[in-house]
Amino acid sequence: MKVIGISAYFHDSSAALVIDGKVVAAAQEERFTRIKHDSGLPLQAVRFCLDYAGLTIDEIDHIVFYEKPLQRFERLLVTHLAEFPKGGGQFVSSIGRWLSRRLWMKNEWIRELGCRADQILCSEHHLSHAAAAFLHSPYETAAIVTADGVGEWVTTSIYRGITDSSGSRIEKLQELIFPHSIGLLYAAITAYLGFEVNEGEYKVMGLAAYGTPRYMAEFEKLCKVNDDASLVLDMDYFCYNWHATDAFTPALEALLGPARKPHAKLTLPAVTDDDRRYSDIAASLQKFTEAYMLKLVQQAQKLTGEKNLCLAGGVALNCVANLKLLSEGPFESIYVQSAAGDAGGALGAALYMTHVIGGIPRRPELNHAFLGAPVEKSDVVRFFSDCGVPFREFATTTEMCRAVVDCLMDGEVGGWVQGRFEHGPRALGGRSIIADARQPYMRERVNKKIKYREEFRPFAPACLAEDLKKWFVLPEGRVEYMTPFMCCVANVSEEGKKVLPAITHVDGTARVQRVEAAHNPVFHELLSIFKEQSGVGVLLNTSFNLKDEPICNSHGEAFATFMRSEMDFLVIENCLVRKEDCLRLSREEYQADETLVMAGRN
């Protein structure tokens, strides 16, 4: 059975191809269009999936949308009816979008994808999340918790996933509905703190470490959490359900003080009262979220009696909260897949159709995230040769890794492009920027001059699996499925804090990636050779992009990003390019050479 899953029309559109239960390809549309969080129909991602498998759209059995669009539309209408006459602005913009496009989704798919109407199916938003987490996981039975902003109506849900001799099932047990949502609370406070919703949540998480949670009483006013982990937001403070652009009302500012203006200066550690207040509010939000998530998984355990948990939805990307669930939660083991947010919905929709509806037996868990488009070494060599870019080509990956380690040991920062790109928001050694984590200045350098982003944002470490315990402290026996995809933070060990300042956040944690030779051999080799020379099998690993841009896809995009930042080197497959050799390319005198124009064929 060949199934394509699609998530679209909200944020992080993506497509995934599953053939007889094997995940063949999955990619976000933003990697192809270069539009961050692209929400359009993922045409290029679908095309990539088909091309990768050598299939045409006619050969696909089912194309599954990750939610029920008309249920979402119903929610919009009902909300506007309930909120009349406050929501005129949002009514005009959102109903306009629906009438002009989304209601005719099937027609658009038939026209743009060239598919047939009978191929198109629809899953449910949270069911897709649940399926992506469970049907990917190593568990035969598990509790599944999904929490995000909102799907059709549902904001949070608890399922039980079962695989037995009769097949796979996902049973829905309880759900919370809009507008009461931990994800929307986080999003509204993200907006209050001056960051962009669906983008700035990571920043709030980073900011939280600088603050003291002294606003817990205020958060309890904003959101009442019952003993059974249901929650009720006080909607006097929020307006995301009816306002066209704003997420919170003046009442929130009366409670917490004036909101931070987007792009306003923020110095950390805080020097002004306002900076201190913002970081304290972020810390309070984070603490509140952690406490809520803990209660939620306890409720899930109570309902299901399971010992394993699959976690999905945007809130599952809160890696700080995930540590809390690992260390204090009731589950023995937790699995979070690499694309836990909406991008993973496409994969979940395809997996649900395949295993639950289609009855195809599950495959072993997916233990890597390299499902995107590859770079071909021959293309890279031809590109650099034709364009006159000076580069070194190495015969083996070991030689290449040795040369890269030499650069890193000299304190250089470089781009690293190997194989297929990752599915999900994290760079895991397919499209990464790497640097020596031992250098104290490295964090500031990479933030300021390479990624051009806020100075307070932390960097993640990539660590050899065999060295994980030396540098990081994680709950014993529970980290196996969280660390390969950077889904939880770990406390940096005392030795680690001394040796690895560039990746140790101000609260002494790091969002660690465990690198195993079996799943990520070239990256593992790089870390091993770095360890040979430095004694440390850890590197700073951040996504290969600049601020507000999607992570690179192809070799040309990697080169463009490399040239626009202050990276020192770029390695693509076995080819190494150094910035100092490329500088002459940009010089006017070099460019003014017009011999090429004259060297026409005729």
If the CB atoms of residues 538 and 558 are measured against other proteins, the closer one turns out to be 558
Least separation in angstroms between CB 406 and other proteins? 28
Q: Between 67 and 422, name the residue whose CB sits nearer to other proteins.
A: 67
Cβ nearer to other proteins, comparing 158 with 205: 158
The distance of closest approach from Cβ of residue 473 to other proteins in the complex, given in angstroms and rounded to an integer, is 35
Question: Minimum Å distance from CB 125 to other proteins?
Answer: 11
Nearer to other proteins, 133 or 369 (CB): 133
Q: Rounded distance, CA 197 to CA 192, Å?
A: 10
Would strands 333-336 and 308-312 be described as parallel, antiparallel, or unpaired? parallel
Closest CA to 228 of 189, 176, 271: 176
Per the structure block, which two tokens stand in for 327? 């260390």
Please say which residue, 162 or 486, places its beta carbon nearer to other proteins. Answer: 162
Residue 566, helix vs strand vs coil: coil
DSSP string, 164-223: ETTEEEEEEEEEEETT--HHHHHHHHHHHTT--TTTTHHHHHHHHTTS--TTHHHHHHHE
Give the nearest distance from C-beta 357 to other proteins in angstroms: 6
Residue 229 C-alpha from the chain's centroid: 26
Tell me how far, at minimum, the Cβ of 163 lies from other proteins, in Å: 15
Residue 236: CB atoms within 10 A of its CB come to: 12
CA distance 137 to 311: 10
Of 53 and 560, which has the nearer Cβ to other proteins? 560
Q: How far is the CB of 388 from other proteins (least distance, A)?
A: 7
In this complex, which beta carbon is closest to other proteins, that of residue 55 or of residue 70?
A: 70
CA gap 411, 139 in Å, rounded: 43
| Cβ proximity to other proteins, 25 vs 63, nearer residue | 63
> Could you tell me how many residues make up the chain?
602
356: its two tokens: 């639950």
CB of 495 to other proteins, least distance (A): 36
Residue 426 makes CB contacts below 8 A (sequence gap 6+) with: 338, 369, 460, 485, 486, 513, 543
Percentages of the chain per state (helix, strand, coil), in multiples of 5: 40, 20, 40
**Minimum separation from the CB atom of position 186 to other proteins (A):** 17
3-class SS of residue 24: strand
Q: Which is nearer to other proteins, 169 or 402 (CB)?
A: 169
Whether 553 contacts 561, CB under 8 Å: no
Question: What does the alpha-carbon distance between residue 209 and residue 456 come to, in Å, rounded to a whole number?
Answer: 10
Nearest approach, Cβ of 519 to other proteins (angstroms)?
28
Q: Is 440 helix (H, G, I), strand (E, B) or coil?
A: coil
Six token digits for residue 347: 């994969």
Amino acid letter for position 290: E
